[in-house]
C-alpha cells in the first residue's frame, strides 16, 4: 500500500508539472504582422447564438495540457500494457474477466438506481447480480442479459443530474479522460461508496482490492476502441468535449 501511495504521488507531481509547463494561455498569440482571417465566426454565426460545441470550459488551457498528458500516457504506458494483457490471455478469458468486473460494479448501478427511485431498474440490477453470481459462476458469464435483463448502468454523476445538478465546468481527468465537475464529484462519490460499503469492504483485503482495481483499469481501456488522434481531426478535443456532454445529457434523461 505504501508503494502504491508513493507511486500515486509521483504520478500526481508529474502530471501537475505537465499541466503547468503547458501553461494556461488558450488564445492564439499574434505576432507583429498578424492579420485577421478572411472567414470569421462573427460573420458566420448570428450574434448571441450559443452553440453546443461551446461547452463551458474555463479550465481549457489546463484541460488541453491534461489531454496531451493522456495522449502520451496512453501511447507509452496504457496501451502497451493492454497489448501485453491481450497477448497473454485468450479472448475467451478476457471476456470472462470483463463479465466478472461488470458484475462486481453492479453495486454502483444498484445504489444509483435506488437513489433515483427507479425501482424497476433497481430490481433488474439486483436480479442480474443474483443470477450472474450464481448461474453465471461468480459473474464470469452473463446469462441475465440472454434472459432479457439488460444492464441498467447508472452512476452518481447521473444521479446528481437526475436531481437537477448542472454539469459545471468541463474537466479532462488524468488517465480517465473527459468529465466535468458534476461527473467528477459523482466518480469520487461512487468510488468511496464502492470501497467503504461495496465489494472491497466485503472482501476486506487491500492486496485483492489493488489487484482488482488494476485489472479493472486494463479491462476498461481494452474495451474502449478510442485512440488519441485516431479520428484524424485537429478538432478532436472539441468533438470529444461536445459528444461527452451530449452523451451524458442523454444518459441522465433516460
Q: Which of 110, 99, 91, 92 is nearest to 144 (CA)?
A: 99
The answer to the question of residue 232 lying near other proteins (CB under 8 A) is yes
The answer to the question of residue 24 lying near other proteins (CB under 8 A) is yes
* Alpha-carbon torsion (213, 104, 247, 59), positive or negative: negative
Query: What gap in Å lies between CA 35 and CA 30, rounded to an integer?
Result: 9
The answer to the question of residue 231 lying near other proteins (CB under 8 A) is yes
What is the per-residue binding string for other proteins in 210-229, x denoting contact by CB under 8 A? ------------------xx
CB of 8 to other proteins, least distance (A): 25
Per-residue CA distances from 196 to 7, 29, 174, 203, 209 (Å): 22, 48, 24, 11, 12
Neighbours of 247 (CB within 10 A): 11
CB of 176 to other proteins, least distance (A): 17
Residue selected from 3, 40, 92, 202 as contacting other proteins according to rule CB under 8 A: 40
The answer to the question of residue 48 lying near other proteins (CB under 8 A) is no
The answer to the question of residue 39 lying near other proteins (CB under 8 A) is yes
| Subset of residues 139 to 198 that bind other proteins, contact rule: CB under 8 A | 150-152
Report the run of H or E that residue 14 belongs to, with start and end: helix 2-21
Answer for the pair 144, 136: CB distance below 8 angstroms, yes or no.
Answer: yes
Neighbours of 79 (CB within 10 A): 15
The answer to the question of residue 254 lying near other proteins (CB under 8 A) is yes
The answer to the question of residue 86 lying near other proteins (CB under 8 A) is no
The answer to the question of residue 207 lying near other proteins (CB under 8 A) is no
| Interface residues toward other proteins, by CB under 8 A | 22-41, 44-46, 49, 51-54, 57, 60-61, 64-65, 68, 71, 150-152, 228-229, 231-235, 237-238, 246, 249-250, 253-254
Amino acid at each position: 500500500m505504501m508503494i502504491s501511495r508513493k507511486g500515486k504521488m509521483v504520478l500526481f507531481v508529474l502530471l501537475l508539472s505537465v499541466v503547468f509547463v503547458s501553461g494556461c494561455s488558450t488564445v492564439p498569440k499574434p505576432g507583429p504582422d498578424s492579420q485577421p482571417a478572411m472567414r470569421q465566426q462573427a460573420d458566420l454565426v448570428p450574434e448571441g447564438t450559443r452553440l453546443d460545441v461551446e461547452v463551458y470550459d474555463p479550465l481549457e488551457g489546463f484541460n488541453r495540457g491534461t489531454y496531451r498528458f493522456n495522449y502520451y500516457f496512453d501511447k507509452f504506458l496504457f496501451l502497451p500494457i493492454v497489448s501485453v494483457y491481450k497477448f497473454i490471455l485468450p479472448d475467451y478469458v478476457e471476456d470472462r474477466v470483463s463479465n466478472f468486473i461488470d458484475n462486481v460494479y453492479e453495486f454502483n448501478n444498484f445504489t444509483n438506481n435506488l437513489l433515483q427511485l427507479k425501482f424497476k431498474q433497481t430490481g433488474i440490477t439486483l436480479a442480474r447480480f443474483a443470477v450472474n453470481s450464481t448461474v453465471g459462476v461468480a459473474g464470469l458469464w452473463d446469462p441475465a442479459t440472454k434472459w432479457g435483463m439488460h444492464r441498467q448502468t447508472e452512476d452518481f454523476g447521473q444521479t446528481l443530474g437526475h436531481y437537477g445538478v448542472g454539469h459545471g465546468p468541463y474537466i479532462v481527468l488524468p488517465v480517465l479522460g473527459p468529465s466535468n465537475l458534476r461527473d467528477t464529484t459523482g466518480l469520487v462519490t461512487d468510488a468511496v461508496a464502492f470501497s467503504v460499503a461495496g465489494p472491497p469492504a466485503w472482501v476486506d483485503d487491500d492486496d485483492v482490492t489493488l489487484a482488482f482495481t488494476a485489472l479493472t483499469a486494463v479491462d476498461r481501456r481494452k474495451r474502449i476502441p478510442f485512440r488519441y488522434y485516431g479520428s484524424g481531426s485537429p478538432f478532436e478535443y472539441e468533438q470529444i468535449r461536445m459528444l461527452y456532454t451530449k452523451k451524458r445529457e442523454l444518459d441522465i434523461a433516460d
